[in-house]
Amino acid sequence: MRGVVLVLLVSCALLGGCWDRTEVNDLAIITAAAVDKAGKDEIDLSIQVFIPKEVGGGGLGVPTGSSTRELTTVLSGKGINIADAMSKVQAKLSRKVFWGHCKIYLFGEEIAREGIADHIDFLVRHPEPRNRAYLYISKGKAVETLGIESVLERSTAEALREYASLHIGMPVTLIDFRNMLKSEAQAVAIPYIQEGNKLKDKEQIQKNTPLLGTAIFKKDKLAGVLTSKATRGLLWLRNEITRASISVDLPEGQGLVSVVPIRATTKLIPRIANGKWSILVKIDTEGDIVENATKLNMMEPSSIALVQKSVNDEIKSRIRLALFHLQKEFDADAGNFAAAFHRKYPQEWEQAKPMWDALYPQIDVNIQVQAAVRRPGLISRPAGSTDEHGKAEK
Amino acid sequence: MLETGKISALQMGMIIYPVLVSTAMLGGPNVMAQAARNDLWLTPFWSSLIGFLSVFIAIQLHKRFPGMTIIEQGKAIAGTVPSAIMGLLYLLVLLQVSGVIVREYADFIAIFLKETPLSVISSALIVVCAFAVKGGVEVLGRTAQVFFPMFIVPLLLMIGLVFPALDPGNLFPVLDRGLLPSIKGAITPLGWYSEVFLISYLLPVLANRPQGTKAAVWTVAGAMITMTIVNLVTLFLMGDALPNILFPIMDTARYVSIADFFENMESAVMAIWVIGAFIKVSMFYYATVLGTAQCLNLTCYQPLIWPIGFLIVLFSFWGIPSFAELGAITLIAIPAILAWSFCFWPGCLLLYAIVRGKRSKAKEVPSG
């Protein structure tokens, strides 16, 4: 019995976790971090810190939670790398910084051109930052994005995180970045967002979309930016398309039809024949019609066939656009053709690997799209058509 | 007879399984991927061969000398003086290996509990293990049985949760550089699998001895299957980045994110690792204590528990200044020691016993 009591007493002393005890109110919770180039060999690290405040504690007439009070604040520090800059930022804070809730990492365009792998190293080596945090490249200075207020969300960090989970652009997490950088292609794609001071006031937010396209990296250095339209092509290539509406202008000037793909799969089939490297991009997709501004009745198989053909061409042209930039301009294999070749032709790949940069722009790409329009939506004829009424009813 | 408890063959399997797997739960896929790259799924198969060999040796020795552990068998085969020297060397190996395991455990925990001194982390584990060892083999068997589901379920759960993110394409090209890389990758895991020889300490206390062989073989097979699955999952998730990631399983757990709030599963991996390390260290600890007692012809082993526990903590510091050093030791030196002491040396003893036709004189040592 005495032994049991002794054990219990000793455990009481130990279970407090004396050394690594951390209280929430000793932590400064980072919600987003931005890294910019400050000067020669210096970076500027800015963190958005959550300001804890009483929630719903206004019972005694104390005005809490008023809309003017900010929820986050931004602190910056200069240093030779993230760890160094972090210690400068820490000196400005009364609480210990905590990375565990940081879900957004922003990098300025300038630093991206010089390479970000060294800075990413801190984030993947340190045990606190999360693997699933999203990366963004910002036009101009990344820190400006941290300062802006979000209309719907608590902070820009939260807004960008929700944005990534909508899959409009190409969400890239820390772990994705790490894996892409280590992959055979050594090309990385990260979403590219509008610079912060263009999204400051309400009017600007209403006018501008935050997402501008995709930043393409060769190794860890920014090579160029794909437009939103070309980004779609890249998403098709990478088999990552989840939400997209494809509007096609039907031939013979009949008007626009929009199709939303429900399912889409992309296969890359590499081929080496007579020393010539080519790749077949095979896409299977099916979707529904969501808008029909033509005079066609979408219950007629012939008009569906027409739409399907146009959709095929549209997808092809998007991919061609993305490939044009990737192959001819940036020479960055963001579609990861390298892995496809490595998997199918390991021997040839081993030989070609050192000159992949020279080879990649020369690869012939054939695109085969099999689009199927399954359902016309809730109505058959276009809602507004009156003149062709009789004809359509036949 | 020093040990009076009895365990079932199933309990033996449940003790040995974490012994084999728990180290692999930490850095296994990383270690194997360094040489084998995308062929690491085949690596556990190669290394498990030594596990089956060790089981065979342990069973054959036990058939010739029933009711004896390897230390007693050594005495019976080689005579008093040589066996005493060999026995002491053997115990030194056990101490060293236990020390390294404790250090691995402590270093992993210390990544998260930065402020806590390493000695506190390792001593805390040793204190708990000491209680288990004090309770004897029955307590060891039962704790293993209780903890077994806690070891397996979080692992399966985690694999299920990352399942949608897996890309089987990372497997290709299959064996593009031949079989050699996958065999090279098997060098370090050889050591882990040869640890199955610790059944030598458990076979004498089995309540149902005929089941022992089956349980041991299934344990090795189970460990092989587990490692193969874990290797595949981490490869599918990380691809070419795998050789650079020190704790792939924890990384996998950190990847889990369901509905934006079910995240940070690394604590589950910590739980797996703590439980695994507890069983593993307890088993090595028990083997060291029992072996020492048998080597010195003591009548009971309990007084040795605390001194040897203290020694294990010391061994976890001696000669290991950093995690990098620890990694280097566990890559080649420790597997070599393990393979020597758990496979080669017992194998030599067995051969010698066969050549000299040595068998236990008594038909069966009544144990219990």
Q: Give the pLDDT confidence of A350-390 residue by residue, as tens digits.
A: 888 888 888 888 888 888 888 888 887 787 777 766 555 44
Average pLDDT, chain B: 86
Does residue A273 share a domain with residue A158?
no
Whether pLDDT at B286 is above 80:
yes
Q: Please report the beta strands in chain B, taking only residues with DSSP state E, as ranges in sequence order.
A: 257-258, 262-263
Does residue A83 share a domain with residue A116?
yes
CA distance A137 to A172: 11
User: What percentage of residues in chain A have a pLDDT greater than 70?
Assistant: 86
Could you tell me if residue A340 is inside a domain?
yes
Chain A residues lying within 8 Å of B238, measured CB to CB: 175, 179
Which one, of B349, B337, B290, B258, lies nearest residue B99 by Cα? B337
pLDDT at A177: 86
Q: Which of A200, A219, A238 is the last residue of a domain?
A: A219
Tokens of B73: 């068998």
Tokens of A292: 């029909």
Q: Does A125 touch chain B (CB under 8 A)?
A: no
- List the single best residue of B37, B172, B265 to mutate versus A (max A Cβ within 10 A): B172
Assess: ipTM above 0.85.
no
Distance from CA of A344 to the nearest CA of B (A): 6
Could you tell me if residue A125 is inside a domain?
yes
Q: Which of A219, A242, A274 is the last residue of a domain?
A: A219
Could you tell me if residue A137 is inside a domain?
yes
Does the domain at residues B26-356 carry the CATH identifier 1.20.1740.10?
yes
Whether pLDDT at A59 is above 80:
no
Contact present, A217 and A190 (Cβ < 8 Å): yes
Instruction: Collect all residues with Cβ–Cβ distance below 8 Å to B298 and sequence separation of at least 6.
Output: B2, B292, B304
Q: Give the pLDDT confidence of B159-188 residue by residue, as tens digits.
A: 888 888 888 888 878 777 778 888 888 888
Average pLDDT over residues A286-312: 82
Distance from CA of B114 to the nearest CA of A (A): 7
Could you tell me if residue A63 is inside a domain?
no
Does residue A159 share a domain with residue A270?
no
Q: Does A178 touch chain B (CB under 8 A)?
A: yes
Q: Does A221 touch chain B (CB under 8 A)?
A: no
Average pLDDT over residues A4-28: 74
The boundaries of the domain holding residue A201 are 25-53+68-219
Could you tell me if residue A6 is inside a domain?
no
Tokens of B239: 């691809």
Q: Which of A171, A192, A219 is the last residue of a domain?
A: A219
Does residue A365 share a domain with residue A345?
yes
Could you tell me if residue A139 is inside a domain?
yes
pLDDT at A252: 67
Does residue A380 share a domain with residue A293?
yes
Does residue A391 share a domain with residue A243?
yes
pLDDT at A55: 53
DSSP H or E stretch at residue B252? helix B248-255
Longest C-alpha distance within chain B, in Å? 68
pLDDT at B13: 92
Whether pLDDT at B68 is above 70:
yes
Task: Tell me the domain boundaries of chain B.
Answer: 26-356
CA distance B193 to A87: 45
Contact present, A279 and A271 (Cβ < 8 Å): yes
pLDDT at A390: 45
Does residue A251 share a domain with residue A233?
yes
Average pLDDT over residues B289-302: 88
Could you tell me if residue A248 is inside a domain?
yes
If one compares B351 and A163, the residue with the highest pLDDT of the two is: B351
CA distance B305 to B296: 14
Distance from CA of B288 to the nearest CA of A (A): 25
Cβ-defined contact of A346 to B176 (cutoff 8 Å): yes
Does residue A318 share a domain with residue A275?
yes
Does residue A236 share a domain with residue A215?
no
CATH number for the domain spanning A358: value is 3.30.300.210
Does residue A239 share a domain with residue A108?
no
Cβ-defined contact of B120 to A20 (cutoff 8 Å): no
Residue of B nearest to A345 (CA): B173
Does residue A310 share a domain with residue A186?
no
pLDDT at A27: 85
Q: Does A184 touch chain B (CB under 8 A)?
A: yes
pLDDT at A338: 85
Counting the structural domains of chain A, the total is: 2
This prediction's pTM: 0.82
Does residue A208 share a domain with residue A113?
yes
CA distance A119 to A142: 14
Which one, of B261, B352, B346, lies nearest residue B59 by Cα? B346
